[in-house]
């Protein structure tokens, strides 16, 4: 009998870089539908978006577990990683914006009814952040989205973290139906004021990490709007979407309204030197 490693037994021979990353499959996934040079960039950028969305969902699940376990350090680490990923996703728009409107027009018709608004993973991210109203057509055949809408949002997980830290979150908030949309709550804001009154504790850092995450999502939305505007102007988006008009309607709508509202309630203090 020969050496299994020499005979090519996959279980015995050394694992290569290409095999570990399944590069043969990954690099075969780019199939532009036209001969336009710039379509390859469009395909690659959007496939990379989906990979990052997958990672964000992976990290968000851990973030919620760490919040509900009361793991402050772990929460901060995971929250900051998600924010870094969002910065990277936003940065990719710089590359996409090197494509001129005419270059995009050279292959746009080949996109047919496909549209970035059809991204199932981004809808799941929105659900994790607290969005609960989706078109029935989005929910009907997407079991993962249905599950995400029924589970606790990040804000619900934060409430459990703060309650365990002793910040008096209202019982009704802790027991609310997570399938319902989050609504700003005065009792939650009172608890958050207590959090922000003690800047030496870990809870305020955790809250600020979620503000960073919320801001990162809003930055992504804004940059996405401007990218669409500079590429297709006021035209109807691919797949019949409202294009930039729809994207603009999503701006300045925070996922965690209480974390933003409480800032206007923090009283100013003056620290006098000796």
Q: How many CB atoms lie within 10 A of CB 63?
A: 27
- Cα separations (Å) of 221 from 75, 140, 187, 193, 213? 24, 25, 30, 28, 13
Query: Looking at the predicted structure, is the pLDDT value of residue 4 above 90?
Result: no
- Residue 241 burial class via C-beta count within 10 angstroms: exposed 0-12, middle 13-18, buried 19 and up: middle
pTM over 0.85: yes
Over residues 197-209, the mean pLDDT reads 94
Q: What is the pLDDT of residue 188?
A: 97
pLDDT in tens, 47-88: 999 999 999 999 999 999 999 999 999 999 999 999 999 999
DSSP string spanning 35-99?
A: S-TTHHHHHHHHHHHHHHHHHHHHHHHHHHHHHHTT-HHHHHHHHHHHHHHHHHHHHHHHHHTTS
Q: What is the pLDDT of residue 100?
A: 94
pLDDT grade for 118, boundaries at 50, 70 and 90 = confident
Q: What is the pLDDT of residue 3?
A: 55
Over residues 128-136, the mean pLDDT reads 92
Counting residues of the chain whose pLDDT is more than 90, the rounded percentage is: 73
On whether the CB atoms of residues 224 and 248 are closer than 8 A, the answer is: no
* Short-list 172, 173, 167, CA closest to 204: 167
On whether the CB atoms of residues 100 and 81 are closer than 8 A, the answer is: no
Q: What is the pLDDT of residue 248?
A: 72
Give the chain's length: 274
Q: What is the pLDDT of residue 236?
A: 58
User: What is the separation, in whole angstroms, between the first and last Cα of the chain?
Assistant: 86
- Cα separations (Å) of 72 from 14, 38, 192, 216, 233? 40, 45, 16, 21, 44
pLDDT in tens, 218-271: 999 999 888 888 887 766 555 544 455 666 777 778 999 999 999 999 876 544
Residue 123 phi, psi (nearest 5): -60, -40
Over residues 206-223, the mean pLDDT reads 95
| Two tokens, residue 72 | 């402050």
Q: What are the start-end ranges of the H helices in 97-237?
A: 101-105, 120-129, 136-140, 143-150, 154-164, 171-174, 186-197, 202-232
Q: What is the pLDDT of residue 238?
A: 56
Alpha-carbon gap, residue 76 to 205, rounded angstroms? 7
pLDDT in tens, 88-108: 999 999 999 999 999 999 999
Q: How many CB atoms lie within 10 A of CB 170?
A: 16
Alpha-carbon gap, residue 249 to 260, rounded angstroms? 19
Alpha-carbon gap, residue 76 to 73, rounded angstroms? 5
Q: How many CB atoms lie within 10 A of CB 271?
A: 4
Alpha-carbon gap, residue 241 to 239, rounded angstroms? 6
């Amino acid at each position: 009998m020969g050496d299994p490693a020499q005979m090519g037994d996959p279980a015995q021979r050394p694992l290569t870089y290409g095999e570990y990353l399944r590069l043969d499959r990954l690099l075969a996934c780019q199939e532009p539908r036209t001969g336009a040079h710039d379509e390859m960039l469009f395909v690659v950028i959007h496939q990379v978006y989906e990979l990052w969305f997958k990672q964000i969902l992976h990290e968000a699940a851990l973030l919620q577990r760490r919040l509900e376990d009361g793991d402050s350090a772990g929460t901060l680490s995971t929250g900051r990683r998600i924010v870094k990923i969002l910065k990277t996703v936003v940065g990719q728009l710089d590359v996409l914006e090197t494509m001129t409107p005419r270059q995009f027009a050279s292959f746009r018709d080949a996109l047919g009814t496909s549209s970035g608004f059809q991204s199932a993973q981004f809808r799941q991210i929105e659900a994790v952040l607290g969005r609960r109203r989706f078109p029935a057509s989005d929910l009907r055949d997407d079991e993962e989205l249905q599950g995400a809408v029924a589970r606790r949002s990040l804000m619900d997980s934060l409430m459990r973290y703060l309650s365990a830290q002793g910040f008096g979150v209202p019982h009704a908030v802790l027991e609310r139906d997570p399938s319902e949309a989050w609504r700003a709550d005065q009792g939650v804001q009172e608890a958050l004021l207590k959090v922000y009154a003690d800047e030496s504790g870990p809870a305020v850092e955790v809250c600020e990490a979620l503000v960073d995450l919320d801001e990162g999502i809003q930055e992504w939305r804004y940059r996405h709007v401007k990218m669409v505007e500079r590429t297709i102007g006021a035209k109807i988006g691919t797949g019949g979407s409202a294009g930039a008009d729809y994207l603009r309607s999503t701006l300045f709508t925070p996922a965690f309204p209480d974390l933003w509202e409480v800032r206007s309630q923090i009283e100013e203090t003056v620290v006098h030197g000796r």
